[in-house]
Amino acid sequence: MNHLHRKDGRLFLEEASLEDLARRYGTPLYVYSLAALNDAYQAYERALAGLPHLICYAVKANSSLAILQHFARLGAGFDIVSGGELARVLAAGGSADKVVFSGVGKTAAEMRMALEAGIRCFNVESESELERLNRVAGELGKRAPVSFRVNPDVDPKTHPYISTGLKQNKFGVPIGRAHGLYRRAAEMPHVEVHGVDCHIGSQLTDLSPVADALDRVLALVDSLASAGIRLRHVDIGGGVGIRYQDETPPDMALYREILRSRFKGRMEEVIVEPGRSLVGEAGVLLTRVEYIKRGEGKNFVIVDAAMNDLMRPALYDAFHEIVPVVESETASLECDVVGPVCETGDFIGLGRRLAVVEGGLLAVLAAGAYGMSMSSNYNSRPRAAEVVVNKNEIFLIRERETVEELMAGERLVS
Ligand code: LLP
């Protein structure tokens, strides 16, 4: 992580001492660096320079309002997958005409909301969805801008739960059937064909499946053009993978080359929907050690963050580096770093070697993406607070949830 560094053995994010932040706001606490968000965004701007493009930040990666506000200020659009995400984008100052709407299960109410807001494009994932969208748009006297999300059947070589472009996955329409669907859409009174979309998976560290998928999509663009259906944009889906452990993230110069060689002079616009790579390395999760439990053959460092705060290790067996916030002379311990939730799957990291003490602080790295946004209230745990750092400025962007808030909408039976 770029803007994370040590001063006299103490960890800082930009100019903020993580020890001070934990003391001031409590733990578990998510902390994000604005400079890191800017760097990540600029890497995409550079990769796409010279091509007409729109970077649509994938809201699901981190949907906190201040994060969305920051990307909106940088000029980003947004990739949303629900009415809730659209509401967040609008509340954060994002413009609807830069929003693309993905997802296999859009409800009629969500379609209405998006049509009324005037979003840029619906990424349609099935024939039934197309029919529904045509009907809903008709009821509102509008024409819905559409792309089909095509499933190119390529293996993205990532975790099976986050692979989306294989024919056994629920996403998109089979690329072989796309032609017929475009013809059908072109005849509909209340949809207007704008583009094509393809997202093959997340945490991609190898770009060759991306290049393969794009070739297949561009072959479709050509064959549609010869049938008189001209597409304005290609949406290439999510962004590149990041470094959690020993992965080598894709070379952005190669990424740029793959895009330029395929799109230069070809489309009116290229859309990308990066999530993880825009926020992942900008965020850390701070957690305090409650207990150190020395077991038989196994030591447990029990921390105050749990699977409800950061679900990735439990759900995908994901690795996040864990480091002490303050370096100490304490002897290091071979341990599992676990949370208080009553599940064996509740771990933040297994088989680590850490110099820790009870009451000490740990930082879980590269936790900015799919951390807070996937958090839950399991075990009736209020969700963490969030802080943004901009050089030496600190902003509390989300207060720690309270137990009263957790129960607020509930009623006892009479
Ligand atoms: N566009 C679509 C349609 C997507 O489904 C996704 C991610 C993205 C863009 C953003 O992809 P990215 O740039 O982040 O790779 N919770 C999982 C990741 C789930 C990704 C789902 N879709 C994790 O924590 O690894």
Give the confidence band of 165 by pLDDT, cuts at 50, 70, 90. Answer: low
pLDDT tens figures, 174-208: 988 999 999 999 999 999 999 999 998 899 999 99
Query: Tokens for 83?
Result: 């009415």
**Higher-confidence position of 387 and 162:** 387
Confidence of residue 171 (pLDDT cuts 50, 70, 90): confident
313 with 337: CB under 8 angstroms? Answer: no
Residue 68 has pLDDT above 80, yes or no: yes
- Does residue 105 have a pLDDT over 80? yes
Let me know how many helices (H) and strands (E) the chain has, helices first.
12, 21
Say how far apart CA 313 and CA 190 lie, in whole Å: 44
Tens of pLDDT, residues 123-146: 999 999 999 999 999 999 999 999
Residue 167 has pLDDT above 80, yes or no: no
What is the arithmetic mean of pLDDT over 51-80? 98
What is the fold of 4-32+280-407?
Lyase, Ornithine Decarboxylase; Chain A, domain 1 (2.40.37)
- When pLDDT is cut at 50, 70 and 90, the band that residue 244 belongs to is very high
* DSSP-derived secondary structure for 354-404: E---TT-EEEE-S-SSSSGGG---GGGPPPPEEEEEETTEEEEEEPPP-HH
Q: What is the mean pLDDT of residues 280-286?
A: 98
How far is the C-alpha of 376 from the C-alpha of 387, rounded, in Å?
A: 18
Q: What percent of the chain has pLDDT over 70?
A: 99
**83 pLDDT tier (thresholds 50, 70, 90):** very high
Residue 97 pLDDT greater than 90, yes or no: yes
Put the strands of the sheet holding 4-7 in their side by side order: 4-7, 10-13, 16-17
Q: Whose CA is nearest to atom 11 of ligand 1?
A: 238
φ/ψ (deg, to 5) at 269: -160, 140
DSSP state of 43: H
Single-letter code of the amino acid located at 138: G
Residue 149 CB–ligand 1 contact under 6 Å: no
How many A from CA of 268 to the centre of ligand 1? 25
The confidence score (pLDDT) of residue 170 equals 81
What integer pLDDT is reported at residue 2 of this predicted model?
A: 85
Q: Whose CA is nearest to atom 15 of ligand 1?
A: 202
Tokens representing 352? 């680590």
Closest CA to 349 of 296, 306, 297: 306
Give me the torsion for CA of 152, 255, 366, 379, rounded to 10°. Answer: -10
Determine the distance separating the centroid of ligand 1 and the alpha carbon of 298, expressed in angstroms: 35
Q: Is the CB of 152 under 6 A from ligand 1?
A: no
Question: What pLDDT is stored for residue 172 in this prediction?
Answer: 86
Name the nearest CA neighbour of 269 among 177, 105, 147.
147
Mean of pLDDT over the chain: 96
Lowest mean pLDDT among 156-160, 211-215, 280-284, 369-373: 156-160
Whether 162 shows a pLDDT value over 80: the answer reads no
Pocket mutation for ligand 1, best pick of 255, 276, 285, 319 (most atoms within 8 Å of C-beta): 276
The answer to whether residues 153 and 142 touch, using CB atoms and an 8 Å cutoff, is: no
User: Which CA distances in Å does 151 have to 83, 148, 178, 399?
Assistant: 24, 9, 9, 40
Question: Quick check: helix, strand or coil at residue 148?
Answer: strand
Ligand 1 binding pocket includes 125 (Cβ within 6 Å):
no
Ligand 1 closest atom vs CA 123: 3
Q: Tell me how far the alpha carbon of residue 102 lies from the centroid of ligand 1, in angstroms.
A: 11
CATH among 3.40.50.970, 3.30.1280.10, 3.20.20.10, 3.50.50.60 for 103-272? 3.20.20.10
Query: Which residue type sits at 125?
Result: E
For the Cβ of 238 lying below 6 angstroms from any atom of ligand 1, the answer is yes
Would you state the pLDDT for residue 152?
85
Range(s) of the chain covered by CATH 3.20.20.10: 103-272
Q: Which residue has the higher pLDDT, 156 or 233?
A: 233
Say if residue 307's pLDDT is above 80: yes
* Span from the CA of 368 to the centroid of ligand 1 (angstroms): 13
Is the pLDDT at 155 greater than 90? The verdict is no
What pLDDT score does 250 carry?
95
Ligand 1 centroid, distance to 184 Cα (angstroms): 29
pLDDT, one tens digit per residue, over 324-354 is 999 999 999 999 999 999 999 999 999 999 9
Which residue CA neighbors atom 23 of ligand 1 most closely? 370
Choose which residue among 41, 202, 206 to substitute to test ligand 1 binding: the one with the highest number of ligand atoms within 8 A of its C-beta: 202
**What's the CA-to-centroid distance between 276 and ligand 1, angstroms?**
7
Q: Specify the DSSP class assigned to residue 282.
A: G
Contacts of 108 (CB under 8 A, 6+ apart): 132, 136
Pull the structure tokens for residue 323: 């480091």
Both structure tokens of 105: 């299960």
* 160 pLDDT higher than 80: no
* CA 162 to the chain's CA centroid: 11
Task: Determine the length of the chain.
Answer: 414
202 lines ligand 1 (CB under 6 A): yes
pLDDT of 297: 85
Phi–psi pair at 114, nearest 5 degrees: -70, -35
Name the residue of 60, 173, 317 whose CB sits within 8 Å of the most ligand 1 atoms, as the mutation to test its pocket. Answer: 60
Q: Which residues are registered as beta bridge partners of 147?
A: 123, 195
Mean pLDDT on 149-161: 81
CA of 133 to the centre of ligand 1 (A): 24
Asked if residue 360 has its Cβ within 6 Å of ligand 1, the reply is no
- Is the CB–ligand 1 distance for residue 373 below 6 Å? no
Active site residue 342: yes
State whether the beta carbon of 102 lies less than 6 angstroms from ligand 1. Answer: yes
When computed from its CA atoms, the radius of gyration of the chain, rounded to whole angstroms, is 23
With cut-offs at 50, 70 and 90, classify the pLDDT of residue 384: very high
Atom of ligand 1 nearest to the CA of 278: 13
Q: Where in the chain is the domain with CATH 2.40.37.10?
A: 4-32+280-407
Residue 232 has pLDDT above 80, yes or no: yes
